[in-house]
Amino acid sequence: MKFTIHRLIFTTTLFLVSLFAFSQGITIKGKITDAVLKEGLPACNVYINNSTIGTGADLDGNFIMTVTSFKEFDLVFSYIGYESFIKRIIAKDGDEILLDVALKPLDFQLSEIEVKSKRDKKWEKQLKKFSKQFFGYSYFADKCEIVNAWVLDFEEEKNTFKAIANQPLQIKNNTLGYNLEVNLQDFLVENDAYKIKGTFRFSEQEPPTKEQLEEWLKRRAEAYKRSYVSLFKSILDGKLDETGYQLYAEKPGQNINEFRSDNFDVELGKSVIPYVAKDMVKLTTDPNLKRIMIAGNLEIHNQNAQTELKTYADTPYAVSWLTAAKGMVQVDLQGVPTNSQDILVSGDMDYLKVAGMLPIDYDPKSNANDAYFLKFEKPAMVEKVVLHTDRSAYYGGDNIWYKTYVNYNFRNYADSSSKILHVMLVDQNKSVIKSQKLEISNGFAYGNMVLPEDLVPGNYYLKAYTNYMQNFDPKFSFEQLIPVLGHKEHFAASQSSVEEEHEMEKTVQVNITKSDSLGGKISALAFSFKNQAGVPVMSNFSVSITNPTYDPQLSTEPKMEDLYKIPSPESLGISKKTFGMEKGINVEGIYLDKKRTPFKGSFNVFVNGFQNFVEGVSDESGNFKLENLMFYGESVLWLQPSSKKQKDNIFIVKNDQNKPEIKLLTNSIEINKTKLDTLVFQKIKDLSKNTKDSTFKKENLKKMLYGRPDYTVANKELNANNGLTGIVNSILKKVPSMQYSQGDFIIRGGATSAFNSNAALILVDGIPGASWSSLNPNAIEKIEVVAGVNNMYGDLSRNGIVSFFTKDEISSDGIPDIEGSTKVLVDGLVNPLPFESPKIQMTQPENKPTLYWNAEVLTDQKGTARVMYRSDFPKQKIKVTVNGITQNNVPFSKTFYLE
């Protein structure tokens, strides 16, 4: 027989860099725009090629992502109707990369694209031919499908076959449990060789059953075992024999195309000889990279991998060939090559093709994945939520201020874990009174909840959780008993007035010093933090200053040391249903045709106006899920069929699909209180409508945030035609000596800490930490700049304030409807209000319950911080409560009582 080895070209850069080592990470941020219109592209996909790791741009095209272990990779920008853009990133730990990208529109328009469910017979045959070459002939390919095959067109001549896709291919690999989005750049079959070039984005499928997940994990392990990454890892570890690999080389002087026997024992020593694996590994200048030297055409026998591809009659295991174009392969410590484009493979390593592709963040040692952990193994990821509220008890109409601390069993998971926090107020009958969703950033979230004025006095419960936490026993979610008093009720007596320091927090020494009045009614508190050895520690903490008469020390108050610590995986308990990590707001629904039967197809989604667009797809049952949307407040969504032929179709949005089963964990308590004849609380008057003070309007309320600004940039001074750059340049032009660096405004030099830089505090309508880069310049009323420290924001404003004020919001009714669409209202994320926004006030001003609340106070390198607060009655007794974590993630809390 004539035995010929065909070299098949497979240019997909399947493996680039490993994702197993911990590092401080690389931050990449910027804006994605239309290259012609210069407008931001909302929800544009940004992802690391051939991985499950990525993010989406916000509604104005801005994006930010943190890569914790990659040092060299291809970053892909992909948007429907535009040419994809690939940027090679080479960076080191701690680097911050500013990357603005302009995508070029394709020649065709979105409105012209129609779903073609049927093609002619010639096209059908060509599709089958493409699928065989794309997925391969193995049993892995049997469960792979192209969801939107209609985007493919083919060109076929005598010895060549080409495929072209005018949109990204949507692929379901039901063998491995992945969904793939493929931007196909080149597909060519010519004679005995083929070429596939493109970018691949992976996402996890949700396993419907435990058995299905077991099957997926088994097949993934098999695919890894048959990959060249597995071979390279074995070479690095010096374990070729242990892992079942045997290497051979062509005998010098032999011609690869000459007649050879199909019996390997006959050919051994005749046409092939054992390959000397000694000294294959060479060092590089980077300790995290190695070089594997490969001479000629390497023949690989993998005795631990079974295959349907019979190469030799006497070898029932997998046989492959590998050639390195430059005689070497550069790999990381996990065997993942950085120059995979120079590698040519054939035989079993090529046999699985796209059907056997794994993302570069696949971990062969793990039996779990980020989104859906195993129900039969210990979960790889654990999240834990703790809330610090400003005080322990409230009145109807009162405002609960809180800060959320999220802990993880691996702190480096903070940037890749849940981004959405759910907070609920529940009564004793387990009915939800109010609910909120907030954004989690770097393990923190800030919020406030206004209690209904007519809330019936009694015991309520504040509960907080991430969607992922529902996988565990409910006892590990956060719950705090919230006593609510009537407006004529009063605590009979103040509770304990002794300083409290919980046992675990003794590892952190918290000291406080109260300054005399600084003039007027302003007082100050100075904090210092040290460890047991007396060494200063940098910290991030929240602080409340309250009137102890209205803030009793209750036995049911949650203790930071008990709730912040991560429970052991064995004690978690596992729910019967699987809940994924929410990276944004998810909207689920069903798509129906004009006969009101489920409809499968694509559709457009517009959020709060025409400029904000994403695409959705429904399945055979009409179900759809829009994932990772980021919008604030009650928002309007228009869902529109992609084709005018479906103009009578409708959409039904399902609300609260993952609403948890409510279980109360804290026992109700009796509050010792007295009923008075007069009101303790009263409603604040609406001063904006008071005829005696008609000048008190929204403008004046804004100015009260921090007094008179040092600089003001009016709307007419903004360069509204140049997006983010225009805003920045307008501010820099107005404010002398200000600098803009990597997304931060720097007014002057200032102290730095482990949690912040020398950047100014950003406010958007008084909200600290809100996103300013996504603001439409035309919606900005003005920008105010404060160069010095402000009393209200204290330490948080140590480097000045840049405050953005938006114009009064236009109601959803003011936005014209989109023709042929279904309009729905959806609750978005809640932005916390600035602290000085009370809904009610005491009848006696000196009885104000909460004098001061600051959700984020940051120490300097000496472990010190200072806050200033307004005290109308300086001689009154105050209660100061501190909760926080150190730079090393050690929690602490302490309560002080000061005269």
Taking only the tens place, the pLDDT of each residue in 372-413 is: 444 444 455 688 899 999 999 898 888 899 999 999 877 666
Out of 3.40.630.30, 3.40.50.1220, 3.20.20.70, 2.60.40.1930, the CATH code matching 383-574+663-672+838-898 is 2.60.40.1930
Q: Which fold has domain 685-806?
A: Ferric Hydroxamate Uptake Protein; Chain A, domain 1 (2.170.130)
Nearest to 437 by CA among 28, 24, 851, 831: 831
Q: How far apart are CA 225 and CA 217, in angstroms?
A: 12
Per the CB < 8 A criterion, the answer to whether 849 and 840 are in contact is no
HEC string for 53-99: CEEECCCCCEEEEEECCCCEEEEEEECCCECCEEEEEECCCCCEEEC
The candidate with the shortest Cα–Cα distance to 811, out of 825, 794, 797, is: 825
For the record, the structure tokens of 156 come out as: 């076929």
CA distance 441 to 62: 16
Given a contact cutoff of 8 angstroms between Cβ atoms, the answer to whether 315 and 264 are in contact is: yes
Q: What is the DSSP string of 751-790?
A: ---SS--SPPEEEETTEET---TT--GGGEEEEEEE-S--
Residues forming beta bridges with residue 592, ordered by sequence position? 598, 650
The gap from C-alpha 117 to its chain's centroid, in whole angstroms, comes to 35
- Please give the Cα distance from 747 to 198 (Å, whole number): 45
Contact 870, 790 (CB under 8 A): no
Cα-Cα-Cα-Cα torsion 756, 762, 768, 770, nearest 10 degrees, comes to -100
405: enclosing H helix or E strand: strand 399-408
The DSSP secondary-structure symbol of 797 reads: G
| Contacts for 353 with CB less than 8 Å, ≥ 6 apart | 10, 133, 134, 135, 136, 138, 141, 196
Q: Check: CB of residue 457 under 8 Å from CB of residue 857.
A: no
Mean pLDDT of 44-69: 86
Q: What is the pLDDT of residue 743?
A: 66
State mean pLDDT over 157-180.
Answer: 91
Percent of the chain with pLDDT over 90: 21
Instruction: Render the burial of 823-852: b for 16+ CB within 10 Å, e for the rest.
Output: ebebbbbbbbbbbeebebebeeeebbbbbb
Residue 808 is predicted with a pLDDT of 62
Which of 106-110, 274-278, 697-701 has the highest mean predicted lDDT (pLDDT)? 274-278
pLDDT band at 294 (very low <50, low <70, confident <90, very high): very high
Half-sphere exposure (Cβ direction) of 192: Cα atoms closer than 13 Å = 6
Q: Are 420 and 582 in contact (CB under 8 A)?
A: yes
Taking the C-alpha atoms of residue 591 and residue 593, their distance in angstroms, rounded to an integer, is 7
pLDDT digits (tens, 9 = 90+) for 95-104: 889 999 999 9
Q: How much is the pLDDT for 320?
A: 92
Long-range pairs, 743-752, Cβ under 8 A, ≥24: 743/29, 743/96, 743/98, 743/773, 745/800, 745/802, 746/799, 747/785, 747/787, 747/799, 747/800, 747/802, 748/787, 748/799, 748/800, 750/798, 750/799, 750/800, 751/798, 751/860, 751/861, 752/860, 752/861
For the stretch 830-885, pLDDT in tens is 877 777 644 445 666 666 788 889 988 888 889 999 888 877 666 778 899 999 99
| Window from 40-49, 550-559, 650-659, 798-807 with minimum mean pLDDT | 650-659
**890/236 Cα distance (integer angstroms):** 38
Looking at the predicted structure, is the pLDDT value of residue 546 above 50? yes
Among 276-290, 721-735, 848-862, which is the least confidently predicted range? Answer: 721-735
User: What is the pLDDT, as a whole number, of residue 335?
Assistant: 85
Question: Which residues is 805 bridged to in the sheet?
Answer: 782
* pLDDT for residue 19: 29
Q: What tens digit of pLDDT does each residue of 446-492 get?
A: 899 988 888 889 999 999 999 888 888 888 889 999 999 888 887 76
Q: Give the single-character DSSP code of 40.
A: B
pLDDT at residue 205 tops 90 = no
Are 863 and 526 in contact by the 8 Å Cβ rule? The answer is no
Answer whether residue 273 shows pLDDT above 80.
Answer: yes
Which carries the bigger pLDDT value, residue 93 or residue 146? 146
Distance from C-alpha of 486 to C-alpha of 397, rounded to nearest angstrom: 10
Q: Helices in 109-263 by DSSP H: which ranges?
A: 121-135, 210-225, 228-237
Question: What's the pLDDT at 128?
Answer: 92
Average pLDDT, the chain: 78
CB-based contact 886:537 (threshold 8 Å): yes
Q: Within the chain, which residue ranges are assigned CATH 2.60.40.10?
A: 585-657+816-827
The pLDDT of 183-190, averaged and rounded, is 90
Output the pLDDT for position 471.
81
Give me the CATH code for the 585-657+816-827 domain, please.
2.60.40.10
Weakest-pLDDT range from 60-64, 230-234, 764-768, 837-841:
837-841
- SS3 state at 235: helix
Cα atoms in the Cβ-side hemisphere of radius 13 Å centred on 534: 0
pLDDT of residue 487: 83
Burial of 279 (0-12, 13-18, 19+ CB in 10 A): exposed
> How is residue 137 written in tokens?
């002939």
**Whether pLDDT at 780 is above 90:** no
Mean pLDDT of 785-806: 73
Residue 46's pLDDT is 93
Contact in structure between 669 and 481 (CB atoms under 8 Å): yes
Q: Bridge partners of 8?
A: 345
Residue whose pair of structure tokens reads 């963040």 in the numeric block: 361
Q: What angle do CA 803, 806, 810 make, to 5 degrees?
A: 165
Is residue 132 over pLDDT 80? Answer: yes
In 459-494, which positions are buried (b, 16+ CB within 10 angstroms) versus exposed (e)?
bbbbbbbbbbbbbbebebbbbbbbbbbbbebbbeeb
- H or E, element range at 203: strand 193-204
Q: How far is CA 185 from the centre of its chain?
A: 28
The two tokens of residue 241 are 């024999």
- Between residues 455 and 633, the one the model is more confident about: 455
Q: Per mean pLDDT, which range of 267-271, 290-294, 363-367 is the poorest?
A: 363-367
More confident residue, 343 or 441: 343
**Rounded Cα gap, residues 388 and 320, in angstroms:** 59
pLDDT: which is higher, 302 or 671? 302
Q: How many residues does the chain have?
A: 899
Percent of residues in the chain assigned helix, strand, coil, to nearest 5: 15, 40, 45
Rounded distance, CA 813 to CA 826, Å?
14
Residue 135: what residue type? F
- What is the number of other CB atoms lying within 10 angstroms of the CB of residue 542? 25
Q: Please state, in angstroms and rounded to a whole number, the distance separating the CA atoms of residues 821 and 684.
A: 42
Q: Annotate 827-844 with DSSP letters as a single string.
A: E-BPPPPPSS--SEEESS
Q: Are 142 and 175 in contact (CB under 8 A)?
A: yes
Q: Higher-confidence residue: 800 or 482?
A: 482
State the pTM of this model: 0.53
Identity of residue 212:
Q
What is the bridge-based pairing of β-strands 26-34 and 101-103?
Answer: parallel
Mean pLDDT within 293-313: 88
Torsion, Cα of 247, 253, 259, 262 (10° steps): -20
Task: Compute how many other C-beta atoms are within 10 angstroms of the C-beta atom of residue 112.
Answer: 7
In sequence order, what are the beta bridge partners of 527? Answer: 512, 865
Tokens of 608: 């709060």
Predicted local confidence at residue 150, as pLDDT: 87
Phi first, then psi: give them for residue 181, nearest 5 degrees.
Answer: -115, 120
Tokens 């069903």 label which residue?
590
CATH 2.170.130 spans which residues of the chain?
A: 685-806
Q: Which helix (H) or strand (E) holds 289?
A: strand 289-293
Mean of the pLDDT values across residues 704-709? 65
- Every domain of the chain with CATH number 2.60.40.1930 lies at 383-574+663-672+838-898
How would residue 768 be classed by pLDDT, with cut points 50, 70 and 90?
low
Q: Among residues 682, 683, 397, 670, which one has the least CA distance to residue 552?
A: 670
Nearest to 332 by CA among 35, 72, 89: 72
